[in-house]
Structure 1
Amino acid sequence: MLVDEALNLFVGYQYSQNRSEYTVVAYQTDLNQFFRFAASELGQEPENLTVDRVDIYVVRSFLGTLSDHGLARKSMARKLAALRSFFKFLCHKEIIRNNPVQRVASPKLGRKLPHFLYLDQIEKLLGALEEKDLLGCRDKVILELLYGSGLRVSELVGLNRQNLDLDSGLIRVLGKGSKERVVPVTSYAIQAIKTYLRMRADHNQALLLNYQGSRLSERSVRRILDKLVAKISLDQHINPHMLRHSFATHLLDGGADLRSVQELLGHKKLSSTQIYTHLTRERLKEVFTQAHPRARSSNRKTSP
């Protein structure tokens, strides 16, 4: 099968699995880059290349070339993940027999601690909101749900009115892989949602709308957050996921158990949640170093 045909099948499958537009486009970009390289490596025109020509040596050569050009390991791992998904799909459809990526090891990644906001920074953000009009009330809902319930931005913009059970203080969220979970909402979020919906005169089922009356996009949420950060002159770049990180960190700081936080975040693996325990340990070390006289004494010169 020609590469273009296989790619069209794969893209159609990804959309059928409710993958986000961002994910599908990223897959396409990485796969197109790989197949341009593969065609050159195999001495063929890209439009004539068939998927069965690709073997493990082409994949390894591709990764080696990326490394030689200084591409970050995280980016290499992302491109390899796209290849894994693509060739696994082809094997499942019996379009190819052997998966050329199966025995290719992923680049080892150093795990970075997620960035989060301190409580006073969260309060500054919330304090910068002007709830004088419909959009101001909507922005209040955005912040209260991102921080108060730890939602991903994709989960937030995908919410519909029927997902809300405000009397019970719960919302139904569609997470990664179309996995549904129920999460609690704070009293602040409930009040913000009620105020916002009372001001709306439409029958659109989407919870969050833009100024044109259409469903709010993920990009718009990021722009809203950027404007708030600029307004309070916060010397730190903030993205919506940092509010989710803050949600998890503050829960663990407050004594929540790891399994509960895992369920609230919708993490499939506990290891994905455990990174926040490292974060809280780092915070404890920082507080200890700054506050305890014996911890600080090593940085001071003692008098003779």
Structure 2
Amino acid sequence: MQLAPDYAPTPEPPEAIYAAYLQHLQRRQRGNSAYTQAARSFLRRWPDVTAWTAVPLGEKLSANGSTRPFITFLMVSRRLHPGYDYLVHRKLASLWHELTDSALQPDLDQFIAAATQLGFSERVSSAIGSQIIARLLIETGRPLLDLSERDLRDLLRACDDRERNTGRGAKHYRSTMHSARQILFHLGVLDSPAPPSMIASTLERRMADVPAALRPAFVAYLERKRATCVAKTVSSLATRLAHFGRYLAAVDPDIASLNSLDRRRHIEPFLTSLTSAVNSATGAPITVADRIRRVHAVGNFFAEITEWGWDDVPSRRLIFRDDLPRQQRFLPRYLPVDADRKLTVALSDSPYRLAADALLVQRACGLRIGELLDLELDCVHEIPGQGSWLKVPLGKLDSERMVPLGEEVLTLVDRITATRSPGRLMSHPRTGAPADFLFTHHGKRLSQNAVRAELNRAAAIAGLGHITPHQLRHTYATALINAGVSLQALMALLGHVSTQMSLRYAHLFDSTVRTEYERALDLAKSHIGPMPTNRPQLPLTDISSGEWKDTPLIKSRLAGGYCLRAPAQGSCPYANICENCPSFHTDSTHLGVLAAQRLDAADLAADAEKRGWIAEAERHHALVARLDMLLSRSKSA
């Protein structure tokens, strides 16, 4: 059904319309006799051009190539409002050429300027303008700032009708419509931003595969958990209970109540099935941690509805502590120093500045990704006498904290402030209160997917493979531990609420363990005693006629002699191990031995370079540097 537009067009004589069309063609330096003849024929048939809107859609679309330019002129001059059905079927490829000095041009220029300010490229801004805004302006007859939510719904409804009638998809219209809503919101035209492009399924739909008799209890339990858990936690519970429900539907589709669940018939086979369950996204077996979470979800479901006194509950306890598989205890997966440095360089050189700078801030402050994206524009606080601090918002554990900042992070924040897209305040996902987020792009909050995609791109350039954002937090914590930060300070900086959470990092590089290792190593060396003398010569080569340093072998000077190895054997991993050991000590009485060893090491480095043994030459150069340091210490002692 054609909707009545919100305008009252003023009748205009055909002669005046024809004269305006001739001026339009002259201004554009185009047109011919076929164009003018087609315009005359149109005006003879429809002297009141608004009557053309009542023509059936098929006849409208059948207009020939000479008539369509005249129809386009009538639309951009706001003389004709053809209906959304015609507008979504008609391609308006030449629209921008027709807009010069038209009634629509100021509104479209204002829209494109706002879109560009929000970070949209010129090409994308023009596409949204022609595909959505131009059609709205043509059909409504109103200026840009007077558009409404209803106008967008009417256009989208026409797109859906076209999809049903012709099978031609409307995906491109929906995509540009979402962006148009966001831009109109920041222009103040709409009262609320565009809704998420993906709407979460209802609990009833997510529990659709649960046996019908059990489904109400599953849904009611999840609804009750909304009162005490955040939406993400409820969603995770729904996923795990849905797995259990699908299993019950497969093994006992006629089950009538939770009371009829049996440990041997239902629960134990379910626990066994988890060992072969696979991740639906990757096809890989689920992790032990995921198995534990699934068992916990089912066990807590039974325990809580029993505690709440629900009518339909299992007749006895079904899940026990021993049903949980042994927890795998991994150390935090931090990035080694070299990998951390390479990733930082790749992020610093990234063309995608907002997401790259977000990751650099996460690495510099140890934030969780949710905390990072929840940062607001006023997150940096200057404390007199205490420097700059970052206010980290409520995160995973519902606690705020303050993290000290250095000059590099302040520079990052300044760059982010210049890169982000400005606009109206948006509703905070936790509180619903208006918030001015730090990381905004295209008028929306920067998404986790965008941050992860940038991290994957930078990691690939740095040659590091897959890295997760949380590894940057682990790397931050590990660097603090290496620097000797106390456990209490680490807890405060990471926002941990228990010492056990922070102790995971303390176990990585325990100074007590290191001290005990070195003490045991010293003790072991004292038990070895002097090395045997007069050892038989290895028959690698005959050196009786020449200097051992000139042999075509891999060579090392040792305290009591020297070592010769065939090139095929490679360098000995124990060569010069003592000189490089932190427990190795020397004094001025050994200066002569060390100086002689340094001369030999320099000669061996030159020999290795001449033979093209680069790694061997580097080993000798490293030894020379180590000996220089030992000699310097011994002389100053």
Question: How high is the TM-score relative to the length of structure 1?
Answer: 0.77
> What are the superposed Cα offsets for residues 202-226 of structure 1, whole Å, 9 maximum, x if unpaired?
244122123x221122222111101
Which residue pairs with 1:27 in the alignment? 237
1:207 corresponds to which of 438, 449, 457: 438
1:164–1:172 Cα contact (<8 Å) kept:
no
1:61 matched to 2:61: no
Mark the CA change 1:159 to 1:49 in structure 2 (over 3 Å): closer, same or farther: farther
Moved more, 273-282 or 168-177: 273-282
How far does the alpha carbon of each residue in 1:47-70 deviate from its partner, in whole angstroms, 9 at most, with x for none?
x64334335443333112323667
Per-residue CA shift, 1:183-241, capped at 9, x if unaligned? 3334322221122213443244122123x221122222111101111223x23321101
> Would you say the 8 A contact 2:481–2:506 is kept in 1?
yes
Matched residue count? 288
Q: Could you tell me which amino acid in structure 2 is paired with residue 81 of structure 1?
A: H
- Which of 443, 448, 456 does residue 218 from structure 1 map onto? 448
- What residue in structure 2 maps to residue 83 of structure 1? 298
| 2:247/2:270 contact within 8 Å kept | yes
Tell me if structure 2 keeps the 8 A contact 1:161–1:206.
Answer: yes
2:483 aligns with: 254
Whether the 8 Å CA contact 1:116–1:245 is kept in 2: the answer is: yes
Please say if 1:109 is aligned against 2:319. no
1:235-268 Cα shifts (integer Å, max 9, x gaps): 3321101101101111000001123212322233
Alignment partners' CA distance in 2, 1:131 and 1:296: 36
Match of 1:302 in 2: none
Instruction: Report 1:124-135 matches (<5 A).
Output: 124-129=342-347, 135=352
Q: Deviations over 1:72-109 (max 9, x none)?
A: 43331121122234334424543248653355542112
Looking at structure 2, the residues matched to 51 and 182 of structure 1 have their Cα atoms a distance apart, in angstroms, of 48
2:412 corresponding residue in structure 1: 192
Aligned: 1:265 with 2:494: yes
**CA deviation after TM superposition for structure 1 residue 111, in Å:** 1.0
The DSSP-based 3-state class of the residue aligned with 1:293 is: coil
Q: Counterparts of 2:378 and 2:309 in 1: how far apart (Å)?
A: 41
Q: Aligned pair in 2 of structure 1 residues 259, 20: CA closer, same or farther (>3 Å)?
A: farther
Residue among 448, 465, 470 paired with 1:236: 465
Within the alignment, does 1:153 sit opposite 2:369 as a pair?
Answer: yes
Structure 2: tracts of 5 or more residues without a match:
1-211, 278-284, 426-435, 522-572, 582-637
Question: Which protein has the bigger helix share?
Answer: 1
State whether structure 2 residue 235 is matched by structure 1 residue 4.
no
Alignment of 1:293 with 2:523, yes or no, is: no
- The answer to whether the 8 A contact 1:18-1:177 is kept is no
Instruction: Give distance in 2, aligned partners of 1:166 and 1:257.
Output: 24
Comparing 30-39 and 164-173, the one that deviates more: 164-173
In 1, Cα distance between equivalents of 2:227 and 2:373: 20
Conserved 8 A contact 1:164-1:170: yes
Pair 1:184–1:82, CA change in 2 (3 A): farther
| Displacement after TM superposition at 1:139 (Å) | 3.0
Aligned equivalents of 2:375, 2:224: Cα separation in 1: 24
Q: Which moved more, 1:177-186 or 1:259-268?
A: 177-186
Distance 1:56 1:180 in 2: 43
**Residues 167-189 of structure 1 deviation map (CA, whole Å, 9 limit, x = unaligned):** 54131321224233333334322
SS at 1:174 equivalent: coil
8 Å CA contact retained: 2:390, 2:405: yes
Show the counterpart of 2:394: 174
1:118 Cα deviation from its structure 2 partner: 2.5
Please tell me whether the aligned partners of residues 113 and 275 of structure 1 are also in contact (alpha carbons under 8 angstroms): yes
Aligned partners of 1:164, 1:59: CA distance in 2, in Å? 52
Change (3 A) 1:129 1:50: same
Partner amino acid for 1:218?
Q
Instruction: Show the counterpart of 1:36.
Output: 246
Find out whether 1:51 has 2:261 as its counterpart: no
Take 2:579 and 2:215, find their aligned partners in 1: how far apart are those partners? 62
CA apart distance, 1:33:
1.8
Change in 2 beyond 3 A, CA 1:185/1:260: same
Give the Cα separation in 1 of the matches to 2:580 and 2:222: 57
Provide the C-alpha distance between the structure 1 equivalents of 2:414 and 2:287, rounded to a whole number of angstroms: 45
Q: CA deviation at 1:6?
A: 2.8
Amino acid at match of 1:273: S
Q: Is the CA contact 1:262–1:270 (under 8 Å) kept in the aligned structure 2? A: yes
Q: CA deviation at 1:163?
A: 4.3
Gap runs ≥5 in structure 1:
298-304
The corresponding residue for 2:135 is: none
CA displacement at 1:117 relative to structure 2: 1.2
Structure 1 contact 145–185 (Cα < 8 Å) conserved: no
**Aligned-residue CA RMSD (Å):** 3.6
1-side partners of 2:359 and 2:287: how far apart?
Answer: 32
Structure 1 counterpart SS, 2:347: coil
C-alpha displacement at 1:295, in angstroms? 11
Displacement after TM superposition at 1:151 (Å) = 0.9
| 1:265-300 deviation per Cα after TM superposition (whole angstroms, max 9, x unaligned) | 223332222222232259969xx8989825999xxx
SS at match of 2:217: helix
Give the alignment's TM-score, normalised by structure 2.
0.40
How much has 1:164 moved relative to structure 2? 4.1
Q: Highest CA radius of gyration, 1 or 2?
A: 2
In the alignment, is the contact (CA less than 8 A) between 2:350 and 2:356 conserved in 1? no
Q: Percent identity?
A: 25
